[in-house]
């Protein structure tokens, strides 16, 4: 199938051609005709599938067809997304695809002055892309008019649920016209997201591509079984010995991210953190520095798993394992995109072994166990056993017990028969 087969406006096709798009992705093939047919839709697709283009292109097609008035435009489209970074990505897509059309858009999000955003709304735009909290603030100030809405897009619904925005999303939906066309996208479908869809969508079509349990075939996965107290040393060891650059590291907590950055900086590695406690300006500066290759390592919490878009990211490291396997897939999905090769490295301490077993079962993969490193799991004092959970075919080198073979032979000599 080609984009021409989807019957998109020639001005959109011209922009697509300039971007070098060869053919629609599976989700674009399925979603674009449904959106053009004015169907409500639930799209289950993970990051990197071309989801944004799947709803942006038909929306631009519709808006360009109906044209605009000379008066200040009333918004025809509201796109709700959980983070400023995602709002920026969607806006970039609209800019690219609408290059040769008369379609306009604005972005609305917190963490910045509200006055310029009010001025933008007064001028009017076809598309409003925003985060839930700031959108509600503007509505309460009577600055947000949703009466003329035709499309409502709820993007990354499961992430909004995780971030505690689902109630705000419901309030926003209730402010929109009942005859709107609603498109809901989510990488996973937990019960609250299914309930949201059931409550607010009218006979929706369901589209699912690339099961969330799958990870990119271009991503090589390695796991290191390491003591929790040795993780920072192992991280430095790997980055230094493998001469890694452009590394995205994931931690479970904000304080953990800052602590890892501090440790790396002490060892002479330029690193920055990226998490929700940092201001929007500080986050953007950290991201820009990383993209410009001024910062070698970006250490982030899961707000970045789907909140940032970095071209040709070669390496992702799970410093802490997530307790939700879908989150693991999103993390490693930051690398190995668009056919490029990538590597995903995971650290697993003893307390995370259950998480790791769940991840392996969920993703149906067998990442390579790297046992040749200086910080393996230490011997369990109670049992006298080393619980490494290793499945590698590679022989293990014990860095702490050089006399292992001698002790083993001695043990055999002392062993007595009990019968």
CATH number at residue 173: 3.40.50.300
Instruction: Among 161, 184, 208, give the residue marking a domain's end.
Output: 208
Looking at every residue in the chain, the average pLDDT score rounds to 85
Clarify whether residues 238 and 187 are in a common domain: no
Same domain, 194 and 303: no
pLDDT at 182: 97
Residue 306 pLDDT greater than 90, yes or no? no
Which pLDDT band holds residue 209 (cuts at 50, 70, 90)? confident
CB 172 within 8 A of CB 135: yes
**Residues 185 and 240 reside in one and the same domain:** no
59-73 b/e with 16+ CB inside 10 Å = b? bbbbbbeeebeeeeb
> Is 170 part of any domain?
yes
The answer to whether residues 337 and 364 belong to one domain is yes
pLDDT at 185 over 60: yes
Domain end, chosen from 177, 208, 239, is at 208
How many domains does one find in the chain?
2
Q: What CA dihedral angle connects 409, 411, 417 and 418, to 10 degrees?
A: -160
Share of the chain above pLDDT 70, in %: 84
Q: Is 276 found in the same domain as 193?
A: no
The pLDDT tens digits of the residues spanning 226-250 come to: 999 999 999 999 999 999 999 999 9
Same domain, 358 and 383: yes
- Nearest CA to 38 out of 145, 170, 152 is that of 152
Instruction: Judge whether 139 lies within some domain.
Output: yes
Kindly write down the DSSP assignment for every residue of 228-286, as one continuous string. GGGHHHHHHHHHHHTT--SEEEE-SSHHHHHHHHHHHHHTT--EEEE-TTS-HHHHHHH
| 68-77, 132-141, 364-373: the lowest-pLDDT one | 68-77
pLDDT tens-place string over residues 83-107: 888 898 899 999 999 999 999 999 9
Q: Mark whether 110 and 227 lie in a shared domain.
A: no
Do the domain assignments include residue 419? no
Q: What's the rounded Cα separation, in Å, for the pair 113 and 110?
A: 8
In a domain, 414, yes or no: no
User: What's phi and psi for 53, nearest 5 deg?
Assistant: -65, -30
Span 188-214, average pLDDT: 85
Same domain, 188 and 243: no
* 73 has a pLDDT exceeding 80: no
Indicate if the pLDDT at residue 369 is higher than 60.
yes
| Model pLDDT, residue 214 | 57
In this prediction, residue 383 has a pLDDT band, given cuts at 50, 70 and 90, of very low
Domain membership of residue 185 (yes or no) is yes
The answer to whether residue 390 is domain-embedded is yes
Average pLDDT on 329-353 reads 86
- Can you tell me the distance from the alpha carbon of 309 to that of 89, in angstroms, rounded to the nearest whole number? 7
Domain stop point among 175, 208, 241:
208
In a shared domain, residues 203 and 158: yes
What single DSSP character describes residue 395?
P
How much is the pLDDT for 417? 38
In this predicted structure, the answer to whether residue 166 has a pLDDT above a threshold of 80 is yes
Q: Residue 409: inside a domain, yes or no?
A: no
Same domain, 294 and 389: yes
Whether residues 163 and 268 share a domain: the answer is: no
Give the pLDDT confidence score for residue 197 in this predicted structure: 94
State the Cα–Cα distance between residues 52 and 31, nearest whole angstrom. Answer: 10
Residue 413 lies in a domain: no
Q: Domain range holding 341?
A: 219-404
Query: Reduced to 3 states, what is the DSSP secondary structure of residue 400?
Result: coil
Report pTM. 0.67
Q: Are 109 and 189 found together in one domain?
A: yes
pLDDT over 50 at 277, yes or no: yes
Say how far apart CA 238 and CA 178 lie, in whole Å. Answer: 55
Check pLDDT > 70 for residue 130: yes
Q: Is the pLDDT of residue 397 over 80?
A: no
pLDDT digits (tens, 9 = 90+) for 24-57: 989 999 999 999 999 999 998 776 678 899 999 9
Higher pLDDT, 211 or 181: 181
Q: Rounded distance, CA 363 to CA 231, Å?
A: 24
What is the reported pLDDT for 21? 87
Instruction: Work out the pLDDT band at 181, boundaries 50, 70, 90.
Output: very high
């Amino acid at each position: 199938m080609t984009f021409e087969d989807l019957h998109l406006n020639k001005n959109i096709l011209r922009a697509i051609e300039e971007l070098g798009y060869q053919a629609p992705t599976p989700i674009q093939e399925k979603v674009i005709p449904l959106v053009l047919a004015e169907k409500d839709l639930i799209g289950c697709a993970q990051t990197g599938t071309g989801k944004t283009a799947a709803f942006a292109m038909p929306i631009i097609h519709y808006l360009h067809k109906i044209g605009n008035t000379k008066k200040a435009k009333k918004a025809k489209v509201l796109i709700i997304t959980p983070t400023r970074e995602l709002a920026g990505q969607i806006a970039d897509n609209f800019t690219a695809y609408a290059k040769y059309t008369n379609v306009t858009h604005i972005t609305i999000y917190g963490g910045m002055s509200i006055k310029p955003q009010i001025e933008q709304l007064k001028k009017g735009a076809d598309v409003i892309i925003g985060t839930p909290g700031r959108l509600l603030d503007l509505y309460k100030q009577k600055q947000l008019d949703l009466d003329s809405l035709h499309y409502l897009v709820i993007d990354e619904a499961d992430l909004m649920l995780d971030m505690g925005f689902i109630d705000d999303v419901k309030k926003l939906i209730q402010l929109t016209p009942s005859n709107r066309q609603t498109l809901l996208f989510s990488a996973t479908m937990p019960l609250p997201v299914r309930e949201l869809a059931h409550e607010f969508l009218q006979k929706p079509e369901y589209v699912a591509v690339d099961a969330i349990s799958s990870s990119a075939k271009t991503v090589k996965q390695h796991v290191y079984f390491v003591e929790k107290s040795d993780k920072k040393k192992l991280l430095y060891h790997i980055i230094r010995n493998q001469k890694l650059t452009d590394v995205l590291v994931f931690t479970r907590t904000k304080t953990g991210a800052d602590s890892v950055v501090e440790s790396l900086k002490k060892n002479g590695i330029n690193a920055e953190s990226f998490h929700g406690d940092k201001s929007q300006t500080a986050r953007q500066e950290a991201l820009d520095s990383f993209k410009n290759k001024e910062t070698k390592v970006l250490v982030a919490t899961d707000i970045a798993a789907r909140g940032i878009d970095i071209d040709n990211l070669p390496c992702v490291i799970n410093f802490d394992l997530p307790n939700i396997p879908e989150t693991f897939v999103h993390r490693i999905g930051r690398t190995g995109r668009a056919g490029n090769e990538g590597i995903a490295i995971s650290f697993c301490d003893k307390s995370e072994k259950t998480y790791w077993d769940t991840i392996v079962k969920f993703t149906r993969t067998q990442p390579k166990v790297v046992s040749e490193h200086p910080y393996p799991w230490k011997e369990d004092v109670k049992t006298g056993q080393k619980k490494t959970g290793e499945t590698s075919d590679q022989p293990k080198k014990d860095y702490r017990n050089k006399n292992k073979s001698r002790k083993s032979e001695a043990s055999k000599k002392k062993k007595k028969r009990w019968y």
